[in-house]
Structure 1
Amino acid sequence: MNDILHPEDILASLGPLALVIASLIVIAETGLLLGFFLPGDSLLFTVGLLIGGGVIDSPIWLACLMISVSAVIGDQIGYFIGLKAGPAVFKREDSKLFSHKNVERTQAFFAKYGSKAVIFAHYVPIMRTFIPVAAGVGKMPYRYYLRYNIIGAFSWGISVPLIGYFLGNVAFIREHVIVVTLALVALSFIPVILEIVKSRTKGSSGK
């Protein structure tokens, strides 16, 4: 009962396992086409926040390394899914977990930034999931893709947790770390909820 009242104790008891779970979520978000709803940015920020606040007993450099490598791995999975499946992967029917509007946004993002979209996509929800697949579908030369991918994955995997880490050392945030964490998780799902509401509203008006 005491652990339930103090969830920070549960998180602290996970130790390195907390980083393993975070890494698996990053792989799923960046590597699986249906993983766009996972809270990537807030997850990375929260991991850094909890380490900075002393809730997760792990060095920040290890968290940054594990997350960055996981992002690279996930992006390779996404790339080869696109390479093997081809354009057909983007021709499936709309559903709650797949939207052609997201595909159109991805194509526009790629058209605007070119190869550098592979770097920038890590900082943009949904793009983080779709760009690796789009790069594979478009048969982007792998050596170029891998280069930009590593740059983007490591810059994202290092910078976001570090921001959380340094904020975790702020007294007020450290004293209310669980409340801040829950707020971040809730905020991360707002874009997904808005997208679902928007698609349902559009579907209703089209009837």
Structure 2
Amino acid sequence: MGFVHFITELLRDPRAAIASWIAMGVAPTLGFIFLIVFIETGVVFFPFLPGDSLLFAAGVFAAPDATTGKVALPLMALLPVVWLAPIIGDQCNFLIGHFFGRRIIASGKVKAMTPERIEKTEKMIEKWGPLAVFLGRFFPFIRTFMPFISGISGMRWARFTPFSILGGLCWSSLFTFLGYFFGNIPAVQQHFELVIVLILVVSLVPTIVGLLKAKFGKKRPAAHAAAGAGSATSADANSDANAR
């Protein structure tokens, strides 16, 4: 229950979670941030962890306070942590997929890994190749499944790694610096929870749209095929009638 409560509080208010960690010291705070980002990226069972919002909140604490000028979390200490966590996590997840991926999928233990999400990830890899590893980094759930599916698909480690490193650096830097430069704006501070929700929504929109396309895109061709078959049958019937 303690772990569930920890994750629930983190999802609900990452700023308050980081504030409680800072009370324990900078080193534990950096350790927790590394652990959460690493687990979201590197362990296929935890795709729901709030990587985007956690990085944004961490960036807020790395910025100088608007009134005192003090810094709660040194930026130069934070950046190596948020850079290394997704890169190492991707490597771990790739190896898990390569050696154990088929058995994990067959077990059905990863409930979040639905057939639609697996299909979407595989289609990204088929369309973009290793570039999909970079692009997938910016989509929740997909960024957890991408290295895992890449390992299953037989993508070579030498092709996977450069795009994984580039994606990890760009993603972590983007959200950390968004928090650093914009998190202390009064309007953002007053509506911080709403900003976090908006970050989650914007991050999830491409994934939701892709899933809807995958779901309804299959029905339309089937409907067209059925309509075409019906038209063909009607045409054949009319031809037979005319022949008679």
What TM-score bracket applies, with the shorter chain setting the length?
A: 0.7 to 0.9
- Secondary structure of residue in 2 paired with 1:36: coil
Q: 2:176 aligns with which of 161, 173, 176?
A: 161
- Quick one: higher RCO (CA 8 Å, sep 6+), 1 or 2? 1
Cα 1:15/1:159, change in 2 over 3 Å: farther
* Residues 72-81 or 93-102, more deviating: 93-102
> Which residue of 2 is the match for residue 140 of structure 1?
155
Partner of 2:73: 58
RMSD (Å) for aligned C-alpha atoms: 3.0
Q: Quick check: which has more Rg, 1 or 2? A: 2
Measure how far apart 1:140 and its partner are: 1.3
Any conservation in 1 of the 2:53–2:196 contact (CA below 8 Å)?
Answer: yes
Kindly provide the CA deviation profile for residues 30-74 of structure 1, in whole angstroms up to 9, marking residues without a partner as x: 111111111111111111123226486222232222011011111
Distance 2:41 2:98 in 1: 15
User: Which secondary structure does the structure 2 equivalent of 1:140 belong to?
Assistant: coil
8 Å contact 2:90–2:164 — kept in the other structure?
yes
CA shift digits 1:7-43 (9 cap, x unpaired): 6864542442222111101111111111111111111
Q: So what's the TM-score if we normalise by structure 2?
A: 0.66
- In the superposition, the TM-score normalised over structure 1's length comes to 0.76
Name stretches of at least 5 consecutive residues in structure 2 with no aligned partner: 1-15, 212-244
Residue 13 of structure 1 pairs with residue 28 of structure 2: no
Asked whether the equivalents of residues 188 and 195 of structure 2 are also in contact (C-alpha less than 8 Å), the reply is: no
| Match 2:33 to one of 9, 22, 39 | 22
> Which position in structure 2 is the counterpart of 1:39?
50
The equivalences for 1:71-90 within 5 A come to 71-90=86-105
Does the alignment pair 1:128 with 2:143?
yes
SS of residue matched to 2:129: helix
Moved over 4 A (4+): 184-191
Query: What is the CA deviation profile of residues 135-181 of structure 1, one whole-angstrom value per residue up to 9, with x for unaligned ones?
Result: 1111211122111111111111112100110012424435x3xx51x
Percent identical across equivalent pairs? 27
Indicate conservation of the 8 Å contact 2:45/2:110, yes or no.
no
* Structure 1 unmatched ranges of 5 or more: 1-6, 199-207
Q: 2: CA distance between counterparts of 1:148 and 1:9?
A: 33
AA aligned to 1:63 is L
Q: Which amino acid in 2 is paired with 1:159?
A: L
